[in-house]
Amino acid sequence: MAIVSAVPTVIMILKVRSEEKKGLNEHIISRNVSRIKLLNGYFIISLISSFSMMFLIIFGLWGSIYAVMPDSSMSFMELFKSGMVYLPAIWVMIGMALVLIAYLPRFTSFIWVMIGYSVFAVYLGMLLGLPDWINKLTPFGYIPQIPSESMNWNNLIVLSGISIVLFIFGFIGYRKREIQAS
């Protein structure tokens, strides 16, 4: 579900590129609005979307569990922890999309290949019994499966750090890049 919730968040950040291709951002940039402010609007919406999508999925799952099994021992906080742990992986996907927009704008659709590969590696890889290293080629492969696994803070800190570095490089690259409709 976390990979599915990454899709709308990536769509939010890719909206800056799609509007750029249509020439819709030219009138904004030609005024007294910096590229950083323009990109930051899409970026903030994408980050808020990442949290809200995960929260809605967790709430829906909890509601379903409670409706079917009212005396279930699974609490909302357990589900909340096990869902929100995926946020750093979603942020890495947002950061990768941001870097593609900044440095390789014609190849922004590559992010969909990464999301598709994540679905394949994480879900189908387990079913097909593929080696663990295939799962580790995606940021979702480093997320602990809570509550069955213990929390691995190191992986979450590293993923959060990678996402911050990707965000910074993306903003720097977008600020320096020539904006033009294509």
What is the predicted pLDDT for the residue at 181? 57
Element spanning 176, H or E:
helix 153-176
**Which parts of the chain have pLDDT scores under 50?**
none
What is the predicted pLDDT for the residue at 42? 94
d(CA 34, CA 56): 33
Question: Could you tell me if 57 and 86 are in contact, meaning their C-beta atoms sit under 8 angstroms apart?
Answer: no
What is the predicted pLDDT for the residue at 164? 97
Distances (CA, A) of 87 to 15, 56, 77, 153: 20, 13, 16, 13
What is the predicted pLDDT for the residue at 89? 95
Overall pTM > 0.75: yes
